[in-house]
Structure 1
Amino acid sequence: MTELWNWRIDGARPEVVYPALAEALGRVVMPLAVADPVRLPAYAVVCDVWEAPGEFGTVVDCYGVPERLSEQACVAALARLLGRDCLLADDTLDAGRHLLVAPDGTVRPVHFDVLETDDGEELSNRRLCTMADPRCRGWCQRSRWAPDSVAPVLAAA
């Protein structure tokens, strides 16, 4: 069984992201636009990187990622390699809540306003998920990533 990962990066050009992805995943990365399923090596991961509007406008989709790879460790390695903050989905059903992964490997929950546009989701108004915000005292407390939490990702070295 393989997985699909979807991340966002704070301002990185796609041509810089692809080689960093290959290093972070420890796999050959094939851009979706040129991936030929017939000639695709068994160990390759197909990725698509494009620009969306708003904050964290660089979007990364990785298709066919082997289950044994840790998504959090890979995104932490990517953040470190690029020197950029990255976002990944958290474990709630809140479309505006994400996990912010810093280049130093720390992870914290954050919220954004989400606007659907013709060019994709636009994220804006980043704010920490904190108990000081009454909106975070209910749904967010059920998450593995509780409000105000800051945790390291161990494999980000």
Structure 2
Amino acid sequence: MEPTPDRVLTAWAADCAEHVLAQFPDFADDAAQTAIAAARAWAVDGEDLDACRDAAYAAHLSARELAEAGYHAVANAVRAASNAAASADDSALAEAGADYALEAISGNSAPCEFQHNLEAERRWQWEQLPASQRGQVFEAEPPEPGAAACAI
């Protein structure tokens, strides 16, 4: 089956990437920001697919460098941006980008907040996606997140 693009899913993937990158304010990544911008631009007008491809590749390389330096959680956040841009070619990569966002959250969460943070992020992702497209990505509506178990 031929991969198909979907502007709504690409825009959603860009939102997911931007949301998770905000969890890492000390790791501003120009390649990730460029990938998000390219994905959003393509989602608006469907033009300049080459810019998405180039931005996805650059973000992929940046994520690899971050992972090799030991910054695995932020590398996954950058991978989310890379997949958002790449989803202009294949909408299945939008879901992959959202999954990378979850991996970034899991890698950046303390054990006592791990489950809550994952549930909250997945619920946020659900809420950002138009109802008409949720069935393409989600098997069921994610539950509201439970309370974090951290005692402060």
Higher-RCO chain (CA-CA 8 Å, sequence separation at least 6): 2
Query: Which protein has the larger Cα radius of gyration, Structure 1 or Structure 2?
Result: 1
State the TM-score bracket (shorter-chain normalisation).
0.3 to 0.5
TM-score (norm 2): 0.34
Structure with more of its chain in helix, by fraction: 2
TM-score (norm 1): 0.33
Structure with more of its chain in strand, by fraction: 1
